[in-house]
Structure 1
Amino acid sequence: MTADRGARGLVAITGANGTIGYACVVYALQTGYRVRCIVRRASAIETIKTGPSVQPYLDLIESVAVPDNAVGGAYDEAVAGVDYVVHIAGAWPMLHLDPDNDIYHPYIRSTRGLIEAGRKSGTVKRMVFTQAGAGLVDSEDGDTLGTRMERVLNEAVQVSQTSLAYRPPLKSPHNAYCSAKAQCMTYLADLQASHELPFSIAQIIPGTVIGPSEFCTTSEQARAHMDRQSKALLFDDVAPRYAFGFVHVQDCARIHIEALDERVRGEDLPKWYVAAGTVEEGTDGDKLWNSVADMIERDFAKEVKTGVVTLGRQKVPINMPFRVESSMTEKMLLNGDKIRGLEDSVREVAEWYIQLKRTEEKADV
C-alpha cells in the first residue's frame, strides 16, 4: 500500500477524529493523498496527530475546525481548493438529542451545504458520503423486523418510502435519523443521476464498523471503545437493537477512499456502495450470530473458561432484516478482495482485547 507521498491530491475528511474518519485519514495518507481533517473542535486535530499510523505523514495533514456544520457556508472554507471530499460527520440518534434541531435539520443542512461548498470550490472532483441502514427502514415499525434477513442489502437497495416522507416535528431521535438519512440518500442520488454538478457523488452504506483502535492502550479503554456487536458477543452485553451488516474498520475506510478514484467514472457509479461483508444466502441472523459464538468458544476457549470473555450467545440483535450482498462493491473498488464481516472482525477485536489483558497481567507480576 505504497504510493508517491501526496501525489493523488488533497482530500477533505469530515468527522476525521471518529472511528471511520480516522481510519480513512490513515488509508488516504498511505495510498498517496494529502488530507485536510475537518473537525468540530481544534483540539481534535491534536489527538489525530498522536495516532501511531499517521506519524510518517504529519507533513501531509492539515486541518479546519467547523464547530457547527449546519449553518450557512459552514464548509465553504473547509473544502476550498480540495480535490475530493469524504463526508462522515453526523450525530448519532442518542435519546437526549432533540429530534428536529440536533438530528434532522443538521443532517439536511450540512449535506446541502457541503454540495454548495463543492460547487463554489471549482476544484472538487468527487464527494463520498457515508450513509446508514437506518435510511432503509421505517422507524415506526418498532422492533418487529425480526432476524430472518429476507431482504437483500446490495448496491440497488431502496430507501424506506415511509421514512422519506417524514417531516418535522419528528417523534424521536430514531425517527429523525431514519428520516434524515432516507432524504439525504435520495437527494444525493437524484443529484448524481442529473449529472448537473461539476463533480460526481458516491454514497456508501456501511454495516456496523468493528475493529481495534490504536488509541486504546488498556483493556478498559478497549472495552469502552468496542462496538455494540462485539460487546454483546464477548461480554454478554445488551443485545444491539439493529444490525445492517458488519464490516472491519479498515475495510470500511478502504472502500471510502477507493470510491474517490475516478477509474470508476461518474456515470458508472452505482446508487450506493455497500461496506459490509456478504452473508451466504439462506443464513438468518440467529444462524450468523451463533456461528460467531461457536468461533469464540473454539478459538478463545481458555478465555471463555477463565471468564476473560463472557459469551453472549443469546444477545442476537433484535432487528436484522437484511442479508448483505456486496460483491459489486468488492469488484468495483477492492479488486475482488472480500470484505471482512462479523466473524473475522470480532475475532480480531477479541485478540486485541486479550493481548492488552495479558500485557497488563505481566506488568502486575
Structure 2
Amino acid sequence: MSKGLVLVTGLTGFVATSTALAFFEAGYSVRGTVRSADKADVWILVFPQYKDRFEFAIVEDMTKPNAFDEAVNGVDIIAHIASPTHWNPKDNEQDILLPAINGTKNIVNATKLEPKIKRVVFTSSFAAVVDARNPPPAGKVYTPNDWNPITYEEGKASAEPRWAYQASKALAEKTFWDFQKTEKPSWSGSVIAPIATYGPPQQPVKDLKGINMSNQYFLAMANSTFKQGVPAIGFPYCVDVRDVALAHVKAVELDVAKGQRYLLVGSPYKPEQLVDILVRNFPMLKDKLPEVDISTVDITPPFGIDTSKTTSELGIQFIPLEKSVVDTVSKLLELAVQFGAI
C-alpha cells in the first residue's frame, strides 16, 4: 500500500529522476510532471518495477499561470525540482529568471486547490546561499542562515550566466518562503539546497549530450578534453545525487524538517583528487588525463560549510567522494559503450 502520492516536477531531469526513485523505494506513489506523454512513456520504460505506482501530468510550460493546477489534484506531497540550469541563455530574464521564479509561484499557488497537501519540499541550491561574485572572508563558514544578496536586476543585466542562475535560485527560494509567510498554507515547507551535484545519472537519455551538466565534467575528463589540466568547476565541494534524493524523502517525512532549510554538501575536493581517483580506478583512462602528484596538492577548502543540521536532523551520512566519483564514471562509461562513443 502506498504511503501517499508525491508530485515530482521536472521528472525527467537528473535530480528529479533520482528523487522520484527515492520516493518509490520509500513506498510512495509518484506523479511526475513532463512536457509530453512520450517523455513519460520513455521514462517509465526504464523503471517498469514502479509502473503500478506511477502516473504523470503534462506541464508544457511551468511559467504560464495555472500551469500546475491540474497536476496537484489528489497529491499529498510536492517535490518542486524543475528549474532551468544552463550557461548559454539567449536572454537572462526569459530563459533563467522568469522560469525559476514564476514556476515557483505557480506551484505554490496551485496548492490552494488541493487541501490534501501536507508537505512541500523546494529544491534550491547552494547558489542561493553564497555570493560567488565576491570571495568569502577568511575563515568564513556558511550555514543555512546565509543568503546570496544578488538582486533580480543584477541577474538580469549580468553578462555572466552563472550570476543569472544564482539570482534565479535565490529569488525562487525567497518566493517559496514568502508564500508561506503571507498565505499561511496548511502544508509545511522545507528547502533542500545542494551544491554541485554528481552521481550516477539514472534519467533516460538518447545520447551523451543528454547527460546533465555537472556530469559532463566527468565525460570531458574521460575523453581527453582536459588532458593538459583539469579545471575547477563551481565551488570546491560536491554532493552525490543519491544523498540529495534521500534528503527530499527525509524532509517530507520528519516533523523536525518543517519550515527548515538544509544544505546538501558532501566532500570538499580539488580537480587533482578527481584525476587521482580516476587513474586508480579506471587505468584505461590514464592516457586521457594529466599527470598529478596528489601528495603535493593542498586539499584544504577556501571556506567552510556547516552541514551539521543536515546530518543531525535528516540523518544524512554523505556518500564519500571516491565512491561518488567511481559510481558516476562507471555509469558514464556504460552509457558511452551503449551509444558507441568508445
TM-score, structure 2 normalization: 0.82
1:322 and 1:45, CA in 2 relative to 1: closer, same or farther beyond 3 A?
farther
Residue 251 (1) aligns with residue 243 (2): yes
State yes or no: 1:181 paired with 2:181: no
> Which residue identity does 2:279 align to in structure 1?
E
Taking only aligned residues, the RMSD between alpha carbons, in angstroms, comes to: 3.5
Unaligned ranges ≥5, structure 1: 280-284
Kindly report which structure 2 residues correspond to 1:32-181, keeping only aligned pairs within 5 A, or say none.
32-51=27-46, 54-138=47-131, 141=133, 145=135, 150-156=139-145, 158-161=146-149, 163-164=150-151, 166=153, 169-172=156-159, 173-181=161-169
Distance 2:257 2:339 in 1: 50
Q: In the alignment, what sits opposite 1:351?
A: 330
The verdict on how the C-alpha distance between 1:345 and 1:170 changes in structure 2, with shifts beyond 3 A counting, is same
Q: Which residue of 1 aligns with 2:309?
A: 328
In structure 2, C-alpha distance between the alignment counterparts of 1:151 and 1:59, rounded to whole Å: 48
The answer (yes or no) to whether the contact 1:278–1:323 under 8 Å persists in 2 is no
CA distance in 1, matches of 2:120, 2:274: 35
Give the number of aligned pairs. 329
SS of 2:279's partner is helix
- Name 1:277's counterpart in structure 2: 266
2:296 equivalent to 1:303: no
Partner secondary structure for residue 49 of structure 1: helix
TM-score by length of 1: 0.77
Deviation readout 1:169-204 (Å, 9 max, x if unpaired): 533443332222222222333444678221111111
The whole-number CA distance in structure 2 between the counterparts of 1:211 and 1:250 is 7
CA contact (8 A) 1:10 1:33 kept: yes
Q: Which residue of 2 aligns with 1:282?
A: none
Unaligned runs of 5+ in 2: none
Secondary structure of the residue aligned to 2:239 is strand
Of 230-239 and 85-94, deviating more is 230-239
CA, structure 1 residues 312+66, in 2 after alignment: closer, same or farther (shift >3 Å)? Answer: farther
Deviation of 1:69 (Å)? 0.7
CA contact (8 A) 1:229 1:240 kept: no
Percent identity (aligned)? 25
3-state SS of the aligned residue for 1:78?
coil
Please tell me whether the aligned partners of residues 276 and 341 of structure 1 are also in contact (alpha carbons under 8 angstroms).
no
